[in-house]
Structure 1
């Protein structure tokens, strides 16, 4: 019998709109989480896919000697796609011209990810292909066409073989960030390696195996491979690359994760407020049911069924609306970026449905228990049961639910704790401020009949309810300020790292005698360039006599050995300089003191290596340069802006290092397409010089920046809508009380203008206070987030201390006044009927 009654009540309340608040809240939670998680997952997948394209595979294994065939056999057994690549240098000969080219030989499956960009001739349009040249033909970079004076269709001698030049090689997906390929790149079929006879025993070659598959297959393969890895073999993914791209990818992932956490937090606040408000609106019906003989069990079953029905319907509605919203957003982003975003998996569906269910259960549990305890005498004494409105247990359950959901979504306890702690700080500060301000309003001495006096009196009357409203408003404003500031700081920081005049070509292997003529060449052709740096390679062989361990793979999530030193198993480029280069800043110690006259060599070290190597000022580093040990004393540590794409060094030695070892010179320049022919002639005149083209790296970094920037705009719109709905639900909860106040004020002779202005001022004060506290707390939390999550120098943002109150006042007053404007326009008789 109670089931039939429950469905009748559910149908009546749904038509009357009694269930719309909690329905909208659960649907909002599901919609927000689904749309944010789906769009961030799709953009994340696209960034990861583009990044995998950047190394032509999901993972790669590198070595300077041939691989055991068993490595490929095992990979094929596990279902991985594989490809082989071999790098070597060889002479090319055509039309009486001889030049040393950097050759890449790829198997038929190369590249596993990404596309090769080629042209049919020097003047045609570039296009993409999925595979490399066929046996018997080669592709040459544009510079080699000018150097060798050949055209497509001509034959070129490569080593001992003769090959047909079939295409112009424009771009490879896995062009290394630093290589000697530059303007002399050759792409060859792997089958033609024996034809060249350039690869013999003892030849200087570089082997690479490429792998593509899902994460489980790759993890299983690496687990089998790891015990067999030799010290000179490297297993890596895009996250292991020490380049601006790897840094940008890591930052993008962290920002998208942060955006998803914001959505969950805001949706949870909306759900908690709405669930509490719904139960409060059922106090009178429950009291009446008990008066008419309804048992606690029947009442409990009725409202639990109502909650189950509205939860089920709202989750379905939220999923459908979220799917539509993320589809529209993803299509817009895809069209803007000129790409197709991968489809999201099942995670957004399962996560948003689960969060909607948990929110409905946890945020409704305590209000429902309070609802069942409403005494029957409430039908006579309407204030009975009001003391149940605030509950420490309910608050504790709500906070713990939000924390667990955020942790579940992010999987990162540090990120969750930072956001959660800052939210608790906002709540504590606002609750205290609200009580003080509203109490202090009594002594302001505002004159009767003033709109400000009436607004403050109204705030004082609803002190507890306004404190809750302040907290809700502040959280919405806080999340919006977070995203606005992060967009301004992080995205602008990325864009500044790749400025319009950033160099896109590095020039290496320059002898000292060639520096002046090359400088003159740049001047004559109006080519912007950096200074010429002496450069040599050196391995950190010891720090105070200690040795170093093999580095771990970040891509596979390996834990580092806390007792071993890492990050020194490579030979970085080093230099000596008299003055501190641009983009570097001394963080500890002093710049060189002995000039050119002292005997002791000094070194300034990149501060990122300070902790890695366990260095301190005064330590002695032993560098192994061409088998020659060189000792240098650490006199300073520097911060380095690696993302600027300008020449930078992990170690800079004092000028008295000059003359101890042979060096070449190194510079960077901003080249345009029109310079290609002139540069080719320059390289022909100085055949030992090599150019390193980093255009593709810049384009890749800019692509990631564009995608994340668009994602921020989408997330901001979702957060803005969610914040508005939270505000609407809060104002909706006080409409009945406001109707009573309007009737009383009109009865006492108050004019409509006075009531309207008082209402507007009330919302403006609430918004300004909430915005000010949200801005200050957000700035502190942002300082921590920038340092901990994005590894950038944190800074305060005083401008949001003005933006917060201003935007809060406008946002809250506009939406709040719009919600109550309809009530203001109704006549007193109509309001009395609604109240009754």
Structure 2
């Protein structure tokens, strides 16, 4: 009996639009989470695939000695694709020219990820292939063609073997980021290693195994491999810290994760507001049903069935719309990225459905219980039940639900805590602010009958509802400001890492007498370059006379002196300079004094990362061991260094009175174009003692990845902006009935249409401005923590959003709010009364 009545009421209310709000809220929750999680997963998979090009595989295993054959056999047993490589140096000879080249021998499956770029001649266009040279062939980098004076089809002697030069090697996906033989690379078949006779017992070689497969296969294999790894074998993926892209990829994933978390928060807010408003609109029907003899159990069954039906329909609709949105978005992104985005797995479907179901249950529970408690006397006394107390337990459960859903989605407790706590701060501040402002409205001294006075009076009249609206508006604005500012900071930080005009080649081992002619060469050929820095190697041997623990020989069974001070077991490049290098910032102390040149005391500025490692403080005396010569230097400053800028940087810079005390070579960096390759090769022939580090191709790859990530982040941000707008729409939609009543009363009292319209507009402007101001301030403070803790970039206040927040909030809320109620105000009074009835 009650089931038939429930379906009849459901059909009637659905046609009348009574269930529109709660239906839209659940659908919004589902489609937001589904579209965000699908897009972020597909983008993440694409970024991971593209980034895997940097190592030509999903994982790689490196060693300086040969691998056991069982490693490959077992990997293939786990379903992994594999490839083998060997690096070694060997002499190349052709046309009476002899040069040392960096040789890489690969099996036919190389590369497992990415492509090799080659050319058929020096003057032809490059193209990509997915396998290396055949047996008997050698692919040479362009610089070797000029050095050896060879052409395509010529023979070149490599070790004891003779090889046919068949291609110009332009780019390898896994070319080392720093290579001393950047313009002297050779690629041959793995089968030709024996032919060269360059690899003998005790030869200095480097082995590498490549693996490709899904994450489960890779994890299973690594579980088997880990106990067998030697201390000098390294298992690496693109996210490892050894990878130059690791930090940037981690930042991108964290941003996409934040976007998903914000989507969940927006959906939860929309659901909570909509569920409460829907149940409030059912107070009168429930009171009528009780008056006519309906029992509490029947009423409960009817509305629980309604909730179940609307939840199922809305989840299905949300999944369908979300799938369409993410498909359109993915196709759009794929077009601009020039790639196909991988398909997402089952997780977005399950996650969005689960979140939609949980939101429907948790945020509708208390309003439904209130609905069942409506007294029958409400039929006569319409305000009975309007003041049902808000349950603290329900509030606690609601907040806990949001927290758990965010944590479930992110898997990161710190990220969830920062966002959740900052949101609670916004809620508390706004509730207090709204109470104070609305309570003080009568003391503003506004003239009766004006639009502003009517707007203030309306805000006072709906103080509780406006406080909830303020919180909803502020949360939407906060999340949007949060993502906009964070996106700009992340991308600008990436661009600072590889700024326009950054050097893409380093030249080292320059003799002092060669500095002037090399600099003249750069100037004559219009090649932008950095200054020439004197460099030498030195080891920090002691601080304030306290010697560091020396290296011990494990071969001889020596043990380290546990009482000795720990140091840094490497000899970095050091220099002396007069001025602070670009991109360096003094964090403590002062740069070298003007009179240092006439002083016997050598000063040193230390990279702040070594301050903690060496336990240094200002005024300490460092003893540097350069060759066998000890040099004492006084610590006068600590510097922050941007190592990602690709500019020449040093962990220690000594004062200029260091000049002449130790032998040095010089070091510089330049920005090369493709047209400069031949000239640089001739320069290297003219000065055979210098070496070039070529990172041009690696920078191009990194910039391509960053461009794709930036585009993806922008698209995900647009989804969150749309979700925020939908939250605002649902909030305004929930108050339309009450606004209709106000319009009818005001018109009955003789208020003009212009007065009502302006008052409504001013009301939304005030709500938006207040919400935007609080959202901007709290967002900026939370950003300080997020940037430092999660993204490892300098946190700073963004005072411009303190102005942007209220302005954008006022415009955003006023535009959406006025658009939503404009249709209501255009309708005549008789029509509004009929709708209210």
- Identify whether the pair has TM-score above 0.5, normalized to the shorter chain: yes
Give the equivalent residue in structure 1 for 2:763. Answer: 762
TM-score by length of 1: 0.93
Deviates more, 1:39-48 or 1:68-77: 68-77
Matched, 1:14 2:23: no
Residue pairs, 1:429-444, within 5 angstroms: 429-444=429-444
Matched, 1:608 2:609: yes
Cα shift at 1:115: 1.0
Cα shift at 1:197: 1.6
Q: Which residues of structure 2 form unaligned runs of 5+?
A: 552-562
Give the equivalent residue in structure 2 for 1:712. Answer: 713
Retained in 1: the 8 A contact 2:141–2:184?
yes
Give the equivalent residue in structure 1 for 2:535. Answer: 535
CA shift digits 1:443-468 (9 cap, x unpaired): 12211211111111111100010000
Cα shift at 1:547: 6.4
Retained in 1: the 8 A contact 2:548–2:564?
no
CA shift digits 1:729-749 (9 cap, x unpaired): 221222121111111111111
Give the equivalent residue in structure 1 for 2:445. Answer: 445
Give the equivalent residue in structure 2 for 1:553. Answer: none
* Alpha-carbon distance in 2 for matches of 1:243, 1:649: 20
Residue pairs, 1:240-639, within 5 angstroms: 240-242=240-242, 244-388=244-388, 390-536=390-536, 572-591=572-591, 595=596, 603-611=604-612, 615-617=616-618, 635-639=636-640
Residue pairs, 1:185-204, within 5 angstroms: 185-204=185-204
Deviates more, 1:210-219 or 1:373-382: 210-219
**Structure 2 CA distance for partners of 1:540 and 1:277, relative to 1, 3 Å:** farther
Deviates more, 1:423-432 or 1:190-199: 190-199
2:342 alignment partner, SS class: coil
Retained in 1: the 8 A contact 2:181–2:692?
yes
1:187 alignment partner, SS class: strand
RMSD (CA atoms): 2.7
1:386 alignment partner, SS class: coil
**Structure 2 CA distance for partners of 1:105 and 1:538, relative to 1, 3 Å:** farther
CA shift digits 1:631-683 (9 cap, x unpaired): 86655332111221111223434556666765433211111111111111111
Cα shift at 1:750: 0.9
Give the equivalent residue in structure 1 for 2:559. Answer: none
2:157 alignment partner, SS class: strand
Cα shift at 1:764: 0.8
* Alpha-carbon distance in 2 for matches of 1:239, 1:616: 34
Cα shift at 1:420: 1.1
* Alpha-carbon distance in 2 for matches of 1:389, 1:711: 45
Give the equivalent residue in structure 2 for 1:753. Answer: 754
Retained in 1: the 8 A contact 2:548–2:567?
no
Cα shift at 1:46: 1.3
Retained in 2: the 8 A contact 1:478–1:774?
yes
Give the equivalent residue in structure 1 for 2:5. Answer: 5
* Alpha-carbon distance in 2 for matches of 1:703, 1:751: 59
* Alpha-carbon distance in 1 for matches of 2:549, 2:41: 42
**Structure 2 CA distance for partners of 1:178 and 1:221, relative to 1, 3 Å:** same
* Alpha-carbon distance in 1 for matches of 2:81, 2:629: 43
CA shift digits 1:271-307 (9 cap, x unpaired): 1111111111111111111111211111111111111
Retained in 2: the 8 A contact 1:248–1:701?
no
* Alpha-carbon distance in 2 for matches of 1:262, 1:567: 45
Retained in 2: the 8 A contact 1:118–1:169?
yes
1:240 alignment partner, SS class: coil
Cα shift at 1:578: 4.1
* Alpha-carbon distance in 1 for matches of 2:567, 2:497: 24
**Structure 2 CA distance for partners of 1:67 and 1:330, relative to 1, 3 Å:** same
* Alpha-carbon distance in 1 for matches of 2:633, 2:67: 38
Deviates more, 1:412-421 or 1:74-83: 74-83
Deviates more, 1:518-527 or 1:696-705: 696-705
**Structure 2 CA distance for partners of 1:800 and 1:531, relative to 1, 3 Å:** same
CA shift digits 1:593-627 (9 cap, x unpaired): 79578787765432234445655556677877779
1:382 alignment partner, SS class: coil
Retained in 2: the 8 A contact 1:252–1:704?
no
* Alpha-carbon distance in 2 for matches of 1:662, 1:82: 47
Give the equivalent residue in structure 2 for 1:80. Answer: 80
Matched, 1:811 2:796: no
Retained in 2: the 8 A contact 1:43–1:707?
no
Residue pairs, 1:106-117, within 5 angstroms: 106-117=106-117
**Structure 2 CA distance for partners of 1:50 and 1:610, relative to 1, 3 Å:** farther
How many residues get paired?
824
**Structure 2 CA distance for partners of 1:43 and 1:625, relative to 1, 3 Å:** farther
**Structure 2 CA distance for partners of 1:674 and 1:716, relative to 1, 3 Å:** same
**Structure 2 CA distance for partners of 1:223 and 1:529, relative to 1, 3 Å:** same
* Alpha-carbon distance in 1 for matches of 2:566, 2:722: 47
Cα shift at 1:100: 1.6
Give the equivalent residue in structure 2 for 1:89. Answer: 89
* Alpha-carbon distance in 1 for matches of 2:565, 2:109: 38
* Alpha-carbon distance in 2 for matches of 1:3, 1:547: 83
Retained in 1: the 8 A contact 2:540–2:567?
no
* Alpha-carbon distance in 1 for matches of 2:270, 2:566: 47
* Alpha-carbon distance in 2 for matches of 1:213, 1:614: 44
* Alpha-carbon distance in 2 for matches of 1:73, 1:188: 24
Cα shift at 1:38: 1.1
* Alpha-carbon distance in 1 for matches of 2:2, 2:629: 91
Cα shift at 1:394: 2.7
Matched, 1:143 2:143: yes
Give the equivalent residue in structure 1 for 2:835. Answer: 834
Retained in 1: the 8 A contact 2:547–2:564?
no
Cα shift at 1:215: 2.7
**Structure 2 CA distance for partners of 1:73 and 1:286, relative to 1, 3 Å:** same
* Alpha-carbon distance in 1 for matches of 2:4, 2:492: 60
* Alpha-carbon distance in 1 for matches of 2:570, 2:381: 81
CA shift digits 1:464-510 (9 cap, x unpaired): 10000001011111111112211222212222322221111122232
Cα shift at 1:241: 4.1
Retained in 1: the 8 A contact 2:30–2:353?
yes
